Amino acid sequence: MGFHIDWSLDVESTAADMRVAVIGAGVIGLSTAQCIYERYHSAVSSLSIEVYADRFTPQTTSDGAAGLWQPYLYDNGNTLETKWNKETFDYLLGFLNSPDSIKMGIFLQSGYNLCSDPAPDPSFRDIVLGFRQLAKRELDLFPGYSHGWFNTALMIEGKSYLPWLMNWLKQRGVKFYQRKVSSFQELADSGVEVIINCTGVRSGELQPDPELKPGRGQIIKVSAPWLKHFILTHNFKKGVYNSPYIIPGSRHVTVGGVFQLGNWSEQNSTADHKKIWEEACSLEPSLKHARVMEDWSGLRPVRSRVRLEREMMQFGPASCEVIHNYGHGGYGLTIHWGCALEAARLFGEIIEQKGQGDRSRL
């Protein structure tokens, strides 16, 4: 694949290294590693970053997601997350004209957000491009939907973005270890000073978190290359992602939506497939002639809000700083860079504090 994963259990490092371990190799883990490296590798001369995960691309949750940049319709006052979403959008938009854009899986896509009832404008209206209300003639194309918006957003496809990130990190000496970390202490005992916890839906295995739940999703990948717009429907009674959506990508079209809170199954369900397919064909009749490729199920790491904060952990005489960065629900790709920037900022705080102590590394 172009990058090296170390299968050994031993970590080679010099005693003077400042070891930072990122747990999780989805979009959150990899982009946080990148952001910290970018900002601190010259300030901290012995910075050594290691990424631990039991699943790498293309097996992560980020890989299965369609990759459309779009937050939930309303942030319910969580303006910090809206800020992070905007930072991500602007950051990705900046890559559009670069020669790497396709390697990164970034491209523009326009489309429709449809509501069965009138609804206030969404939180992202001033972030995306060309946001406008749908005209009656457009709504007539979607019977059953009386209100909606058109805008131009971005796609950020995990299957391209994650390999690009891993390559970027590998080229800068970041090491990868394919194994399941059983506890923060395990890493702290081995000499890691800072842990970045990007373990997504399974964060509860490292530290119980009653607010974190799986939001199971299932999608059908189809070939329908005449479809050039995303179509997302919103049914406020059924809740987010439980209403059909169709998102064309660079390789196939992603058809969904299912959002089952508390369901840990990663197996494809025939009943879900049937529901998704029937609803999507109602929405977009031409799917009748699409070629179905395969189904995929994944677990969104659902939480009332993203957990992005520091926690100092004491394990006997050793202490370890943990930066939690998990719980991004169905908008991990959408929010990842803003969160990476914030995590890097927290890392900077840690560096500064350590600099004031015995081990001055600056």
Partner 1 sequence: MTVTSSVQWRMGIQTRSSSFKGMSLTVTPPAHSPFSTQVPRSLLFVAPFWYCCPAMHRVKVAVVGAGVVGLSTAVVIAEALPHCSVTVLADRFTPNTTSDGAAGILFASQFPDVPVEQQRRWFKRTFDHLLLIASSPEAGVAGVFLSSGWQIFREVPPEKKPYWSDCVLSFGTMTDAELKRFPQYKFGQAFTTIKCECPSYLPWLQKRLEKAGGIMIHEKVTDLAELGLRYDVIVNCSGLGSRELLGDEDVHPVRGQVLRVHAPWLQHFVRVADGHTYIYPGAGGVTLGGTRQAADSQAIFERCRRLEPSLGSARPLGEWVGLRPGRRNPRVERGHVRVHGRRVPVVHNYGHGGWGITLSWGTALDALDLVRQCLNERPPEARL
Stretch that binds partner 1, among 36-44, 220-228, 295-303, 312-320 (CB under 8 A): 220-228
Of 312, 319, 323, 314, nearest in space to 346 by CA: 323
Residues 147 and 141: their CA atoms lie apart, in Å, by 12
Residues 167 and 41: their CA atoms lie apart, in Å, by 17
- Residue 129: strand, helix, or coil: strand
335 belongs to the binding site for partner 1 (CB under 8 A)? no
89 belongs to the binding site for partner 1 (CB under 8 A)? no
Q: Which is nearer to partner 1, 154 or 174 (CB)?
A: 154
Q: Which is nearer to partner 1, 152 or 314 (CB)?
A: 152
Which residue in the set 1, 16, 43, 102 belongs to the binding site for partner 1 (CB under 8 A)? 102
Q: Which is nearer to partner 1, 193 or 284 (CB)?
A: 284
Angle at 137 between CA 134 and CA 140, to 5 degrees: 95
228 belongs to the binding site for partner 1 (CB under 8 A)? yes
Q: How many residues are recorded in the chain?
A: 362
Stretch that binds partner 1, among 113-121, 187-195, 244-252, 347-355 (CB under 8 A): 244-252
Q: Tell which positions 147-206 bind partner 1, by CB under 8 A.
A: 150, 152, 155
283 belongs to the binding site for partner 1 (CB under 8 A)? no
Which residue in the set 14, 271, 288, 356 belongs to the binding site for partner 1 (CB under 8 A)? 288
Residues 286 and 294: their CA atoms lie apart, in Å, by 18
Kindly determine how many residues on this chain lie close enough to bind partner 1 according to the rule CB under 8 A: 36
Of 156, 154, 162, nearest in space to 198 by CA: 162
293 belongs to the binding site for partner 1 (CB under 8 A)? no
Element (H, E) at 170: helix 158-171
Which residue in the set 1, 16, 43, 135 belongs to the binding site for partner 1 (CB under 8 A)? 135
Stretch that binds partner 1, among 80-88, 97-105, 209-217, 304-312 (CB under 8 A): 97-105
Of 264, 261, 258, 115, nearest in space to 202 by CA: 264
Of 286, 279, 308, 181, nearest in space to 229 by CA: 286
Element (H, E) at 354: helix 332-355
CB of 288 to partner 1, least distance (A): 4
User: Which residues lie below 8 Å from residue 263, measured CB to CB, with a gap of 6+?
Assistant: 214, 216
Q: Which is nearer to partner 1, 101 or 146 (CB)?
A: 101
Stretch that binds partner 1, among 40-48, 127-135, 272-280, 339-347 (CB under 8 A): 127-135
CB of 12 to partner 1, least distance (A): 37
